[in-house]
Amino acid sequence: MPELPEVETIRRSLTPLLLGKRVEGLEVYNPGVLIEYSNVTVVTGIIFALRRRGKYLLIDLREGTSRPKHLSTIMVHFRMTGKLLYKDHFEDVAKHTHVRFYLSDTLGEMCYLDFNDVRRFGKVWLLPPGGESMDPGFAGLGPEPLSAEWTAADFLAQIKHHPRSTVKSLLLNQEVVAGIGNIYCDEALFRAGIHPARQNETLSEEEVLNLQQAVREVIAEGIGHRGTSFSDYVDGLGNRGNFQLELRVFQQEGKACSVCGTEIEKIRVSGRGTHFCPRCQPRLIDKERLAR
Ligand SMILES: [Zn+2]
């Protein structure tokens, strides 16, 4: 499932291809993926910005006049297997392509942007300007992990606010911090040396701050490696990322820990498959370990 680094990579790969192109219209092959708000009747206009927030990608369209006005926004959530694929020449619509946007460049040459999704959990929204906040998932997003808005005080307050939940489910809560999914959650917890099933109230302030730093590191490195590709994820040109080569615990069960050599284990925490090193990420809190 594309997480923040993958969606950011999609955004960066599509930006030079899409900016300045005109959206001429769209064809919908599976209406189930499309969410329209009634006051957006026509999706045409010139693409002037590609934005990302959490795991959402937003494509802003404006009028082509000398006094540009933001007209509408196409918003995409990729969920499990969604892809947004750019084609600079005509190709037949592929299996599992649910929406095709027809684009033209300044010379009038046609190009295409296909939303393809095998599992069909992804969504495409057609929104008026600012309409993204009508989606409750978008409206409830917490701070971006790489932004200055995600302060230590904010994260400590969230930890206190959810004393009994596991640290894993806290990191996956998009209202606490935006864009983290299973891959980067497991990797951040490993780097911080924190067992994923620990309850938030058992974490020391130092552990919370280390965890925040670890989240920032894995997200930044994930972007630097253009995302993690196992089977499905590709950027807007169909290229795979390579952060899967850097993973230390996620889907590494049975392999030796890169730090201590202990076998990486896979368990379920808060309903999610969870990977960790039992030695580097002990279940017991410090006090209990010292008492042993
Ligand atoms: Zn280890």
Host H or E run for residue 272: strand 272-276
Q: What is the structure's pLDDT at 173?
A: 98
SS (H, E, C) 34-82: EEECCCCCCCCEEEEEEEEECCEEEEEEECCCCCCCEEEEEEEECCCCE
Mean pLDDT by 10 residues, the chain (292 residues): 94 96 94 76 86 98 81 94 94 95 94 95 93 95 98 97 97 98 97 98 97 98 92 86 94 97 97 97 66 47
Count of alpha carbons within 13 Å of 95, Cβ hemisphere only?
2
Q: Where are the domains of the chain?
A: 4-139, 152-291
For Cα atoms 181, 234, 47, give the angle at the middle one, nearest 5 degrees.
95
Separation of 203 CA from ligand 1 center, angstroms? 19
Give the distance (Å) from ligand 1 centre to CA of residue 157.
29
Backbone angles phi, psi at 257, to 5 degrees: -60, 135
Token pair, residue 120, equals 């069909």
Superfamily of domain 4-139: MutM-like, N-terminal (3.20.190.10)
Return the exposure string of 105-141: e unless at least 16 CB atoms fall within 10 Å of the residue's CB, then b. eeeeeebbbbbbbeeeebbbbbbeeebbeebeebeeb
Selection from 266, 290, 292 nearest residue 277 by Cα: 266
CA angle 261, 264, 269 (to 5 degrees): 150
Give the residue numbers marked as catalytic.
2-3, 55, 272
CATH of domain 152-291: 1.10.8.50
Look up tokens 């109230």; give the residue: 201
Tokens representing 73?
Answer: 């926004």
pLDDT of residue 35: 83
Separation of 261 CA from ligand 1 center, angstroms? 6
CA of 120 to the centre of ligand 1 (A): 37
Ligand 1 center to 281 CA (angstroms): 7
CA distance 247 to 236: 23
pLDDT recorded at residue 71: 87
Q: Give the per-residue pLDDT at 292.
A: 45
